[in-house]
Chain A
């Protein structure tokens, strides 16, 4: 269905044209968007999510499989091939988790009722605090909401393109998330400040002043670095979870060699 998304250049914050001809994201590819706060990372993935046609603040245009997308796929959620997890971690809908997912499944044209419970189960793999089906979405914590929305994007959005905005900030098990959605043949885009996530992706898009400044393909050296960093990150996680659980740091963890 979707195998390629093309981004055509827009204008930076001063109104100057971006300096790339086009950026193509292909199925199976993982990309990270990095750059300082306010540099336009969220705006970049929002353009993808809206399938912008020169009608957003950046004036970028998007093509799907090389074609201008029709109004129907831009505005009909059940046809929309893109799921996005925003930085917002609050839900305003005054309904239970079960009901919320049920309506979303309807919006996406999914008949199978089980998907609601599978989504809650998956969400509970991403968060330490269990989400119950009767919990109102308005009372879920930031991390629980984020976990639920990621699981929802994977199973209910079930979209070939997934956009994630700074998932590392919600206190969820980010490696679990990365593991779940890599190698699924999807286009996965992470906006991130996290070096581990950035190095786990094949391409890095560097943002500055509202524009794409550079595109870097991950080097072999960086692949190795990513593995080391992952190792390190796993240990940091162990320490974090021990501290969260009210435990003491054990001796072997004080002896970790971070080199």
Chain B
């Protein structure tokens, strides 16, 4: 089974891209799709209705969706494989700019909208710098010069990335992407790990405890005027 992990900020065009991929590859591959989001997502229903493929969704709730993905992706791979899928597409929520959902195997794609502002590539950290492929969408909405400026910015953040531009509503210029997906090696389920480093640790705020003050929490948050020696705060 092949694996495609798609990340990118909200409304970047991830789902529009997934639809083009499914439309194009459905004839030759059995495709399964998982959407990971925080509170609400409709992609599973939409894609099942439009293409009649296997879909799932999963809400991370109080957790960073990429952290949650670490556990959930293994389940999803098992689910897709046990249903004889040839390709599993995972669309991440793309909200956590500290983490990235890409694995050491399969393809990691970051989707960036060309109207999201020129500093986005720099601000998105690992979501851009650890991707194998960057796809710039909505090129129908801006000038060619501005497209080139956006591409240049992405290259400066991640010189090795494979870059593509598309109007995701029409699926223009995606031949290269389809070829890369078809040529990507099958994953070995026993040897999957995160590409990026997770944050140093998690704290009780990360999992949704809202009470203010140190006595309610533990983790590694530094006190406002704390000494560096105290940075491993363990709770009271």
B164 at the interface (CB under 8 A from A): yes
CB distance from B34 to the nearest CB of A (A): 27
B41 at the interface (CB under 8 A from A): no
Q: Of the candidates A50, A84, A103, A145, which one forms a contact with B152 in the assembled complex, judged by CB atoms under 8 Å apart?
A: A103
Within 21-50 of A, Cβ neighbours of B (below 8 Å) are at 46, 49-50
CB distance from A148 to the nearest CB of B (A): 8
CB neighbours (8 Å) of A107 from chain B are 148-149, 151-152
A191 at the interface (CB under 8 A from B): no
Interface pair A56/B173, CB less than 8 Å apart: yes
Interface pair B115/A92, CB less than 8 Å apart: yes
The answer to whether A50 and B142 touch (CB under 8 A), given A75-B164, A106-B152, is no
A74 at the interface (CB under 8 A from B): yes
CB neighbours (8 Å) of A100 from chain B are 145-146, 149
Interface pair B148/A91, CB less than 8 Å apart: no
Interface pair A153/B145, CB less than 8 Å apart: yes
Interface range on chain B: under 10, 10 to 19, 20 to 34, or 35 or more?
A: 20 to 34
- CA of A100 to CA of B150 in the docked complex: distance in angstroms? 10
B118 at the interface (CB under 8 A from A): yes
- CA of A114 to CA of B171 in the docked complex: distance in angstroms? 38
Total count of chain A residues near the partner, CB < 8 A? 35
Q: Of the candidates A56, A75, A77, A157, which one forms a contact with B172 in the assembled complex, judged by CB atoms under 8 Å apart?
A: A56
- CA of A94 to CA of B115 in the docked complex: distance in angstroms? 10
- CA of A94 to CA of B143 in the docked complex: distance in angstroms? 14
Interface string of A82-97 (1 = CB under 8 A from B): 0111101011111100
Interface residues of B (CB under 8 A from A): 114-119, 141-153, 163-165, 170-176
If A56-B172, A88-B142, A91-B142 are given as contacts, then 18 extra A-B residue pairs at C-beta distance below 8 Å, sorted by A number, are: A50-B173, A52-B173, A55-B174, A57-B170, A75-B176, A88-B141, A91-B146, A92-B114, A92-B142, A100-B146, A103-B118, A104-B145, A104-B149, A107-B148, A107-B149, A145-B143, A156-B145, A157-B145
